[in-house]
Structure 1
């Protein structure tokens, strides 16, 4: 059989702590989860990760695995047979069950000959039935308004779930779920709903909802910073003055500096998406011309053209 380097599989050094190993496993298994991954062999990669964590995430199995490689230089893919007396002194678990404690993505490492041959003899050859696995975690997205991030909200989402009916056929059904949106959430952030994932013998997995913002004509969001386009009259831009602006957190009065041009940016500190360190709100001034739809309006525009003699392309 071929030797498997479990540290290489998880991308951690042999000196990695238990917490380092758990973090690496969680990160990779979410990346390659078959429900969300676009990788060609996501299922196979997930099984490899489960197998590696089934060993390195178990203190006794890791100690036995490290003892096997002590003083040796085995490489992944190298032809390998465990020494006849290997495993003596490691007698506790003697099992070959998968380890699901890091995230419940399941998977049975006994599908690997390397794992089975290596750990079947721990504990004098006893083999223990794999413990019940909790269900897989599910992933979905939820689209919210920017105001929901400022104030918090409760939203109802509809999920389509697959299950087996009484005739063992795969059928789908819709499930409505009420979700609390906490104030301060940002795009890409995931909300974890415990026990709302796929069912399993040891309990259901969790549901992870990724936050997305509904597009808005006036707002652009960058992390916790918010950019708002503010329409301003020509005389407000030219002469300056105070204007009232409706922002995601309520109406505010701001001063437009005299001589402003379209594209000028006014910064309101701390008025972006709230949080431990709140973002900023940037007001992007945009001049809006009144229509020349009446005789009076046309006369005013003609007077401006005559009296101001302004050519915006001069010197361009």
Structure 2
């Protein structure tokens, strides 16, 4: 029987919910069309073989049930999966699980990662293969959310992850590109779930970057926004102020007459971009009023208020 990578339902042109009668009707129609005795096209014979293969699987309710159960997860290896294997069982590496771990502010935290991923990367696998003759099944790809601080995303760098597997503890080196953004995927080839059977290859591990909420920065793609507190007289008269960016402190000029909400653009001070221009950082002016005043300061503010008081039309 020919080996193909086609979906059997697509081969017959029917939905997955098709009845047995629908499957047989589609098979007979296609078999007549592509039978080598009536179709001389070069690819007709191969298509005829695929049609027969699809019908052989889908026309038998038991075989069809196994195909429906295992082919979405294992593709062409669906026949090799033991009948009693549950691809959705908790604690197996094939449950479609998502895990979450974090670097915090100082790089990856080793503690807790093994506990989170121990089952996902191979825990409880002793019953998957009851004996020889079944063959091997490649390991599944695994997706995990990688929470980074803005500072870690800005600087990137090489880190090590320690994770538990069925064969012990495994350490994986991860190179975080400088300037990764929320939603970006980092692929670690061959570091996913363990395969079934001796010599079966592991799947891949995909780390999906999530930027953690930050007390200072607001993130929009590669652009960052930070509040810039200024005193009222600095907003009125103008001033030079220091802005904290992920790359260090930068002096910025606050123009005279700046109101709260004014955004000062620091070009290229956002998250870097290895394939193009870096994002920008916006310092958003926020006027901060003094909480405590001396008598002299209060008198000065009072005099300022009086100087700006509107003229009384009745006194004119």
Bin of the TM-score, shorter chain as denominator length: 0.5 to 0.7
1:17-96 aligned within 5 A: 54-55=5-6, 65=11, 75-76=14-15, 77=18, 79-81=22-24, 82-83=27-28, 89-90=45-46
Q: Tell which structure's C-alpha radius of gyration is larger.
A: 2
**Matching of residue 143 in structure 1 with residue 141 in structure 2:** no
- 300 and 175 in structure 1: CA distance in 2 versus 1, 3 angstrom threshold: farther
Q: How far apart, in 2, do the equivalents of 1:237 and 1:297 lie?
A: 17
**Equivalent in the alignment of 1:253:** 251
- 158 and 262 in structure 1: CA distance in 2 versus 1, 3 angstrom threshold: farther
- 155 and 230 in structure 1: CA distance in 2 versus 1, 3 angstrom threshold: farther
Query: Residues 186-226 of structure 1: CA distance to partner in whole angstroms, max 9, x if unpaired?
Result: 01111111111100143111111111122222210011111
Query: In the comparison of the two structures, how many residue pairs are matched?
Result: 215
Q: How far apart, in 2, do the equivalents of 1:271 and 1:205 lie?
A: 38
Query: Residues 15-57 of structure 1: CA distance to partner in whole angstroms, max 9, x if unpaired?
Result: xxxxxxxxxxxxxxxxxxxxxxxxxxxxxxxxxxxxxx9316x
Q: How far apart, in 2, do the equivalents of 1:130 and 1:270 lie?
A: 57
Q: CA deviation at 1:150?
A: 2.1
Q: Please say if residues 54 and 109 of structure 1, whose CA atoms lie closer than 8 Å, have aligned partners that are also in contact.
A: no
**Equivalent in the alignment of 1:268:** 266
**Matching of residue 200 in structure 1 with residue 195 in structure 2:** yes
Structure 1 residue runs of 5 or longer lacking an equivalent are 1-52, 98-103, 112-128, 166-172, 311-316
Q: Please say if residues 243 and 283 of structure 2, whose CA atoms lie closer than 8 Å, have aligned partners that are also in contact.
A: no
TM-score by length of 2: 0.56
Q: CA deviation at 1:138?
A: 0.9
- 131 and 304 in structure 1: CA distance in 2 versus 1, 3 angstrom threshold: farther
Q: CA deviation at 1:157?
A: 4.7
**Equivalent in the alignment of 1:301:** 301
Q: How far apart, in 2, do the equivalents of 1:299 and 1:175 lie?
A: 69
Q: Please say if residues 236 and 256 of structure 2, whose CA atoms lie closer than 8 Å, have aligned partners that are also in contact.
A: yes
- 214 and 306 in structure 1: CA distance in 2 versus 1, 3 angstrom threshold: same
**Equivalent in the alignment of 1:106:** 74
- Where 2:74 maps in the other structure, the secondary structure is coil
TM-score by length of 1: 0.56
Q: Please say if residues 147 and 209 of structure 2, whose CA atoms lie closer than 8 Å, have aligned partners that are also in contact.
A: yes
**Matching of residue 234 in structure 1 with residue 232 in structure 2:** yes
Q: Please say if residues 292 and 301 of structure 1, whose CA atoms lie closer than 8 Å, have aligned partners that are also in contact.
A: no
Q: Please say if residues 152 and 184 of structure 1, whose CA atoms lie closer than 8 Å, have aligned partners that are also in contact.
A: yes
Superposition CA RMSD, Å = 3.9
Q: How far apart, in 2, do the equivalents of 1:219 and 1:309 lie?
A: 38
- 262 and 205 in structure 1: CA distance in 2 versus 1, 3 angstrom threshold: same
